[in-house]
Amino acid sequence: MSLRFAARMESVPRSFIREILKVTQDSSIISFAGGLPNPDLFPVEAFAEAAARVITEDGAHVLQYATTEGYQPLREWIAARYRDRQGLNVTADDIVITSGSQQGLDLMGKIFLNNGDTVIMESPGYLGAIQAFSMYGPKFVGVPLEDDGPDLDALERAVKDGARLFYAVTSFQNPSGLTYTREKRQAVADILKGTDVIFAEDNPYGELRFRGENVPPLYGLRPENSMLMGSFSKIAAPGFRLGWVATSPEIRQSLVTAKQAADLHTGTVAQRIMYRYLMDNDIDQHIARIRERYGRQGRAMLAAAEAYFPEEVKVTRPEGGMFLWAELPTKRPIMELFDAAIARKVAFVPGKPFYVDGGGDNTMRLNFSNASEEVIDEGMKRLGECIKAHLAGK
Amino acid sequence: MSLRFAARMESVPRSFIREILKVTQDSSIISFAGGLPNPDLFPVEAFAEAAARVITEDGAHVLQYATTEGYQPLREWIAARYRDRQGLNVTADDIVITSGSQQGLDLMGKIFLNNGDTVIMESPGYLGAIQAFSMYGPKFVGVPLEDDGPDLDALERAVKDGARLFYAVTSFQNPSGLTYTREKRQAVADILKGTDVIFAEDNPYGELRFRGENVPPLYGLRPENSMLMGSFSKIAAPGFRLGWVATSPEIRQSLVTAKQAADLHTGTVAQRIMYRYLMDNDIDQHIARIRERYGRQGRAMLAAAEAYFPEEVKVTRPEGGMFLWAELPTKRPIMELFDAAIARKVAFVPGKPFYVDGGGDNTMRLNFSNASEEVIDEGMKRLGECIKAHLAGK
């Protein structure tokens, strides 16, 4: 008797980050490796009250099966926010609640990708998307990410070569922290218009801007054949696993069919608690608090990078989100730096797994949302020393 | 510009049941069409308390991201229950928490099914599994379900023909209400032993026995290359979307990889509330109450079938669960009966969609968990009259 898995399982990259995170479980290590929101900011009491209230008041419905599309008032809240804040033409009918935005990626792969289809990823790109899409056997093409958005020539070539789907995190990207400018958004929309390419815009960090002005999602510039994903994980709490997809009625129908087969529907309890929380509390005030805190933490990390990193190390200057990206002027394997850093009790994520077509050996992702400014300063100091030694070939 | 979906989307059956349920939304209709637990029995206050307590006491963890495998104490609780109640050799490490047991089906399809692989389904079989597996393009083979379990000759033939996976709901099956006897479980295990066939045992209703003696899951008789799925939906509440898979370490590893790509992990909030509920309350007392109620409702439906249905209509005699199955001695399309029944304000689910290889045109599924005995009696009376007219060709 033998155990054989489906062929698709061979193409899935092991979660390098999970492995890294295991190494960094040690509480004496200062970890910039994770991607967790700061739990100090979770509105614990407000959620406890919302949970008790909603179950007590409407238990028979809150605890029962529900529709695949999601809780209607929550869909309405999300759509109204898109209309009011981003000027998007979105109604509640366009929204499907998903089990975290990660599920949106899986469902998208499921409904659109045939084996061998081309998926355009940003280089570097979000690892969770690479993993989700990998299950459907695509061919990945990377488009380099510049400080203001993707390399347009490379994107245009990939689109003309017959890509099926372009996945992008347009604001405060994971892993790079970079944001598409308004101009680049328009240019990308112009490239995509009139093509069959599915555009999948993932925007979990969009509300976490601590510098500069809001830029509306690209989705509004080219809504046809497009999907816009959002999440409550970064603006409220990830433990509910609540995300959503906004899309056209035609795509939504297939999405719902796929979601029904995947998990029937997202937890009613989670959706109802979140909605109650949104009704009884001022989410904007809460988001302002997150922005203020992450802004301080992000500035502390940038200041520390300037103070402690050698000048030749290039770092991104995020206007929001949770991550910063560094590029080293060396071909020495970054795993050697990783090991040295762990020995000095500081951790980061080596950048290579974020590239679908090689490269990135000299890059790293640094998370600033989950450590105080003092801890960030100390960790960056240690990391700076390790980088200097690494560049000196020691 | 056109919108093309992946080829797999063409093979997914539309959810006939969802369509049926829409027809039966009308509250003046007595519906035996659904598959909902009785909400009167939801432990509303206990869950409200558990939710408030667990978020207040441990919000920073409850609201945060967590591991893909699931909350460790909950995994331990499930494993201990299998050991103590069913004599299964299962540890916490063997358990993966899933977003409802429906997700177990999807992940199973994902990790095991290549396009064209053969999946053995019971005839009739669970529609949610047909939908989930359809996404991976298998060839379905049906094995007739007899009163005591599957037709062993047909199962053996299908296994020898090189099937990849056999999916079975061994106790109080959805849709038939039938249960594999101890003897048939052993016979099935003997057929599977030494083969590569993945055995997927789904047991969401196993604890809802209201007649006869507990029979342990088949899983224990042939654990190699097998998975046993369970759920809190029927013993506590479905609104949390909490299920699980018990399996071997080798399968578990692939399952976790696939689950990570699908939704990172099942909601921490839901898992923690459920665990708190289990610690602070007597779930056995609660299950006893469900059993008692469903037993009364099931007996009421059976008694009504005997009183109002023509003798030639064959009905199953469930020992637990939520469903009863009826077979009519006619070739007249059952949709005509369905329409006539709706006109008389009573609804059922036509049985045809539960068959992967045709047949079942003269069958229907009747749910008894979600109506009082009086309502059941009235509905069955109306349905009996419709059936008589249908058989008389009127």
Of the candidates B7, B48, B262, which has its C-beta nearest A55's C-beta?
Answer: B48
- Give chain A's length: 394
**Residues of chain A neighbouring B62 (CB-CB closer than 8 A):** 239
Closest residue, chain A, to B136 (C-alpha): A110
> Where does the pLDDT of residue A22 fall: very low under 50, low under 70, confident under 90, or very high at 90 and above?
confident
Over range A253-274, report the average pLDDT. Answer: 96
Burial of A237 (0-12, 13-18, 19+ CB in 10 A): buried
| Cβ of residue A56 closer than 8 Å to a chain B Cβ | yes
Residue type, B140: F
> What are the b/e assignments for A263-283, b being 16+ CB within 10 Å?
bbbbbbbbbbbbbbbbeebeb
Indicate yes or no: CB of A6 within 8 angstroms of CB of B269. Answer: no
| Cβ of residue B63 closer than 8 Å to a chain A Cβ | yes
Query: B392 Cβ partners below 8 Å, 6+ apart?
Result: none
**Residues of chain B neighbouring A65 (CB-CB closer than 8 A):** 36, 233, 238-239
- Asked if residues A175 and A182 have their Cβ atoms less than 8 Å apart, the reply is no
Cα dihedral across residues B338, B339, B340, B345: positive or negative: positive
pLDDT of residue B25: 72
> Where does the pLDDT of residue A14 fall: very low under 50, low under 70, confident under 90, or very high at 90 and above?
low
Indicate yes or no: CB of B99 within 8 angstroms of CB of A267. Answer: yes
β pairing state of B165-169 and B198-202 = parallel
Q: Min CA distance, B102 vs chain A (Å)?
A: 5
* Structure-token pair, residue A22: 């295991």
- Asked if residues A373 and A300 have their Cβ atoms less than 8 Å apart, the reply is yes
Angle at the Cα of B374 from the Cα atoms of B371 and B380, rounded to 5 degrees = 80
Residue matched to tokens 């981003």: A86
Q: What is the pLDDT of residues A346-363, one digit of tens each?
A: 999 999 999 999 899 999
Indicate yes or no: CB of B113 within 8 angstroms of CB of A262. Answer: no
Over range A210-215, report the average pLDDT. Answer: 96
Indicate yes or no: CB of B239 within 8 angstroms of CB of A268. Answer: yes
Beta bridge partner(s), residue A292: none
Query: A26 Cβ partners below 8 Å, 6+ apart?
Result: A345
Predicted confidence (pLDDT) at residue A2 exceeds the cutoff of 90: no
Indicate yes or no: CB of A102 within 8 angstroms of CB of B6. Answer: no
Integer Cα distance of A336 and A59 in angstroms? 55
Angle at the Cα of B310 from the Cα atoms of B307 and B311, rounded to 5 degrees = 90
Integer Cα distance of B278 and B93 in angstroms? 20
pLDDT of residue B67: 93
Angle between the N-to-C axes of helices A268-280 and A44-62, in degrees from 0 to 180, rounded to the nearest 10: 130
Task: Give the rounded percent of residues in chain A with a pLDDT score beyond 70.
Answer: 97
Residue type, A78: I
pLDDT of residue A393: 85
Indicate yes or no: CB of B265 within 8 angstroms of CB of A241. Answer: yes
Integer Cα distance of B76 and B93 in angstroms? 8
Predicted confidence (pLDDT) at residue A303 exceeds the cutoff of 80: yes
- DSSP letter for B321, please: S
Mean confidence (pLDDT) of chain B: 95
Over range A148-161, report the average pLDDT. Answer: 98
Integer Cα distance of B22 and B320 in angstroms? 27
* Structure-token pair, residue A119: 């998926």
More confident residue, B275 or B331: B275
> Where does the pLDDT of residue A149 fall: very low under 50, low under 70, confident under 90, or very high at 90 and above?
very high
Domain B61-280 has CATH 3.40.640.10: yes
β pairing state of B95-99 and B242-247 = antiparallel
**Residues of chain A neighbouring B64 (CB-CB closer than 8 A):** 36-37, 39, 42, 237-239
| Cβ of residue B110 closer than 8 Å to a chain A Cβ | yes
**Residues of chain B neighbouring A52 (CB-CB closer than 8 A):** 48-49, 51-52
Integer Cα distance of A328 and A153 in angstroms? 25
| Cβ of residue B104 closer than 8 Å to a chain A Cβ | no
Residue type, B57: E
| Cβ of residue B240 closer than 8 Å to a chain A Cβ | yes
* Structure-token pair, residue B334: 């059952």
Predicted confidence (pLDDT) at residue A15 exceeds the cutoff of 70: no
- Give contacts of B 261-280 with A, CB under 8 A: 261-270, 272-273
Query: B306 Cβ partners below 8 Å, 6+ apart?
Result: none
**Residues of chain A neighbouring B51 (CB-CB closer than 8 A):** 48, 51-52, 55, 269, 273
Mean confidence (pLDDT) of chain A: 95
Integer Cα distance of A72 and B21 in angstroms? 18
pLDDT of residue A9: 87
Indicate yes or no: CB of B47 within 8 angstroms of CB of A40. Answer: no
Selected residue of A36, A54, A99, A274 to mutate for chain B interface (largest B Cβ count, 10 A): A99
Indicate yes or no: CB of B264 within 8 angstroms of CB of A128. Answer: yes
Burial of B122 (0-12, 13-18, 19+ CB in 10 A): buried
pLDDT of residue A175: 98
How many CB atoms sit inside 10 A of residue B286's CB? 18
| Cβ of residue B253 closer than 8 Å to a chain A Cβ | no
Of the candidates A14, A131, A269, which has its C-beta nearest B270's C-beta?
Answer: A269
Of the candidates A4, A39, A258, which has its C-beta nearest B64's C-beta?
Answer: A39
Q: H/E element holding B298?
A: helix B283-308
**Residues of chain A neighbouring B237 (CB-CB closer than 8 A):** 63-64, 269
Predicted confidence (pLDDT) at residue A24 exceeds the cutoff of 80: no
Q: Min CA distance, B310 vs chain A (Å)?
A: 34
Predicted confidence (pLDDT) at residue A185 exceeds the cutoff of 80: yes
**Nearest residue to A386 (alpha-carbon basis) of A319, A323, A320, A339:** A339
- Asked if residues B109 and A8 have their Cβ atoms less than 8 Å apart, the reply is no
Predicted confidence (pLDDT) at residue B89 exceeds the cutoff of 90: yes
Q: What is the pLDDT of residues A309-332, one digit of tens each?
A: 999 999 999 999 999 999 999 888
CATH C-level class of A62-280:
alpha beta
**Residues of chain B neighbouring A7 (CB-CB closer than 8 A):** 114
**Nearest residue to B337 (alpha-carbon basis) of B385, B290, B268:** B385
Q: H/E element holding B361?
A: none
- Asked if residues B267 and A270 have their Cβ atoms less than 8 Å apart, the reply is yes
Integer Cα distance of B135 and B144 in angstroms? 23
* Residue ranges per structural domain of chain B: 7-43+285-391, 61-280
Torsion angle, alpha carbons of A119, A124, A126, A132, to 10: 40
Q: What is the pLDDT of residues A158-169, one digit of tens each?
A: 999 999 999 999
Indicate yes or no: CB of B239 within 8 angstroms of CB of A269. Answer: yes
More confident residue, A3 or A248: A248
Indicate yes or no: CB of A254 within 8 angstroms of CB of B5. Answer: yes
| Cβ of residue B70 closer than 8 Å to a chain A Cβ | no
**Residues of chain A neighbouring B196 (CB-CB closer than 8 A):** 1-4
Over range B143-167, report the average pLDDT. Answer: 98
Indicate yes or no: CB of B111 within 8 angstroms of CB of A195. Answer: no
Assign B366 to helix, strand or coil: strand
Phi-psi region of A86 (alpha: psi -120 to 50; beta: other; left: phi over 0): alpha
Integer Cα distance of B140 and B353 in angstroms? 13
**Residues of chain B neighbouring A55 (CB-CB closer than 8 A):** 44, 47-48, 51
**Residues of chain A neighbouring B13 (CB-CB closer than 8 A):** none
Q: What is the pLDDT of residues B214-234, one digit of tens each?
A: 999 999 999 999 999 999 999
* Structure-token pair, residue A237: 């709490």
> Where does the pLDDT of residue B3 fall: very low under 50, low under 70, confident under 90, or very high at 90 and above?
confident
| Phi then psi dihedrals of residue B366, to 5 deg | -125, 125
**Nearest residue to A283 (alpha-carbon basis) of A241, A244, A236, A213:** A236
Of the candidates A3, A7, A238, which has its C-beta nearest B250's C-beta?
Answer: A3
| Phi then psi dihedrals of residue A317, to 5 deg | -120, 80
Over range A180-197, report the average pLDDT. Answer: 97
> Where does the pLDDT of residue B15 fall: very low under 50, low under 70, confident under 90, or very high at 90 and above?
low
Burial of B335 (0-12, 13-18, 19+ CB in 10 A): exposed
| Cβ of residue A194 closer than 8 Å to a chain B Cβ | yes
Predicted confidence (pLDDT) at residue A13 exceeds the cutoff of 70: no
pLDDT of residue B336: 92
pLDDT of residue B165: 98
Integer Cα distance of A113 and A119 in angstroms? 8
| Cβ of residue A130 closer than 8 Å to a chain B Cβ | no
ipTM of the complex: 0.96
Assign B228 to helix, strand or coil: strand
pLDDT of residue B16: 67
Q: What is the pLDDT of residues B259-284, one digit of tens each?
A: 999 999 999 999 999 999 999 999 99
Written in H, E and C, the secondary structure of chain A is: CCCCCCHHHHHCCCCHHHHHHHHCCCCCCEECCCCCCCHHHCCHHHHHHHHHHHHHHHHHHHCCCCCCCCCHHHHHHHHHHHHHHHCCCCCHHHEEEECHHHHHHHHHHHHHCCCCCEEEEEECCCHHHHHHHHCCCCEEEEEEEECCEECHHHHHHHHHCCCCEEEEECCCCCCCCCCCCHHHHHHHHHHHCCCCCEEEEECCCCCCECCCCCCCCHHHHCCCCEEEEEECCCCCCHHHCCEEEEECHHHHHHHHHHHHHHHCCCCHHHHHHHHHHHHHCCHHHHHHHHHHHHHHHHHHHHHHHHHHCCCCCEECCCCECCEEEEECCCCCCHHHHHHHHHHCCEECEECHHHCCCCCCCCEEEEECCCCCHHHHHHHHHHHHHHHHHHHCCC
Integer Cα distance of A349 and A19 in angstroms? 10
**Residues of chain B neighbouring A59 (CB-CB closer than 8 A):** 39, 42, 44-45, 47-48
Closest residue, chain B, to A249 (C-alpha): B3
- DSSP letter for B354, please: G
Predicted confidence (pLDDT) at residue B18 exceeds the cutoff of 70: no
Of the candidates B3, B102, B114, which has its C-beta nearest A250's C-beta?
Answer: B3
Angle between the N-to-C axes of helices A100-112 and B249-263, in degrees from 0 to 180, rounded to the nearest 10: 90
pLDDT of residue A237: 97
| Cβ of residue B132 closer than 8 Å to a chain A Cβ | yes
B61: number of CA atoms within 13 Å, CB side?
9
How many CB atoms sit inside 10 A of residue A336's CB? 12
CATH number of the domain at B7-43+285-391, out of 3.30.56.10, 3.90.1150.10, 3.40.50.1980, 3.20.190.10? 3.90.1150.10
Closest residue, chain A, to B128 (C-alpha): A261
Predicted confidence (pLDDT) at residue B315 exceeds the cutoff of 80: yes
N- to C-terminal Cα distance for chain B? 51
> Where does the pLDDT of residue A16 fall: very low under 50, low under 70, confident under 90, or very high at 90 and above?
low
Predicted confidence (pLDDT) at residue A17 exceeds the cutoff of 90: no
**Nearest residue to A353 (alpha-carbon basis) of A95, A172, A129:** A129
Selected residue of A9, A25, A65, A68 to mutate for chain B interface (largest B Cβ count, 10 A): A65
**Residues of chain B neighbouring A257 (CB-CB closer than 8 A):** 9, 12, 14-15
pLDDT of residue A40: 95
Phi-psi region of B151 (alpha: psi -120 to 50; beta: other; left: phi over 0): beta
